[in-house]
């Protein structure tokens, strides 16, 4: 990787100004860096989603199985009185009843909470995330701009004859490595190969 950066630096120093003008613009670098970091696009898309999710019904379902065995014994004895008033025991009867039941039961419920269309508590969290995302985006853009323009200024001041030339070349390589980190390696590929974004 170092030799590629050295070669790129040597080529840039040796190329005429028209060739150096083919380097990526700060807008291209910023766009690629934001895309690589996943910070491109609208910062707040979640607030609306939090509200509209309340149109999707919530569903609950219950399923169960009942296996029931019943055994019942009933004893019946009939008593009557004769003409003298004495009790007469009629026949006694015992009934045994057994039953077995298998039953499947289920229920499905669906409901929609329309109150969430006015305000959903998840909007607060979405708003916090949008603010944090916006702050990360601003910080990244500031770092990309600072690095990019520092590199351009060092290239402009580099004449190859001063004692600070090697120090400036190292600093340029470091800035290019930082831009590579912001863009996932795109920057070096772009200045060496002329690759498209």
Q: How far apart are the first and last CA of the chain?
A: 20
Residues 150 and 82: their CA atoms lie apart, in Å, by: 125
Structure pTM?
A: 0.53
Digitized pLDDT (tens) for each residue of the chain, 197 residues in all: 344 434 344 444 444 443 444 689 999 999 999 999 888 877 666 666 777 777 788 889 998 888 887 778 777 766 677 778 776 666 667 777 788 888 888 899 988 877 777 777 777 787 788 888 888 989 999 999 999 999 988 888 876 666 677 888 888 889 999 999 999 989 988 888 765 55
| pLDDT recorded at residue 43 | 62
What residues contact 47, with CB distance under 8 A and at least 6 apart?
A: 123, 126, 127, 130
Taken in order 130, 135, 138, 143, is the CA torsion positive or negative? Answer: negative
């Amino acid at each position: 990787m170092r030799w590629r950066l050295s070669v790129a630096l040597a080529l840039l120093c040796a190329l005429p100004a028209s060739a150096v003008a083919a380097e990526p613009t700060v807008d291209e670098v910023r766009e690629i860096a934001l895309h690589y970091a996943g910070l491109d696009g609208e910062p707040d898309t979640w607030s609306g989603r939090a509200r509209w999710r309340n149109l999707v019904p919530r569903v609950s379902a219950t399923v169960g199985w009942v296996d029931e065995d019943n055994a019942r014994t009933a004893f019946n004895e009939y008593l009557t009185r004769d003409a003298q008033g004495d009790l007469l025991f009629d026949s006694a009867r015992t009934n045994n009843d057994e039953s077995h039941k298998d039953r499947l039961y289920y229920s499905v419920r669906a409901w929609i909470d329309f109150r969430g269309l006015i305000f959903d508590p998840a909007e607060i969290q979405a708003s916090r995330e949008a603010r944090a995302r916006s702050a990360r985006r601003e910080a990244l853009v500031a770092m990309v701009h600072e690095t990019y323009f520092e590199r351009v200024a060092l290239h402009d001041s580099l004449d190859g004859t001063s004692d600070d030339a090697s120090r400036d070349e190292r600093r340029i390589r470091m800035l290019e490595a930082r831009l590579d980190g912001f863009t996932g390696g795109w920057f070096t590929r772009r200045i060496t190969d002329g690759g498209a974004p």
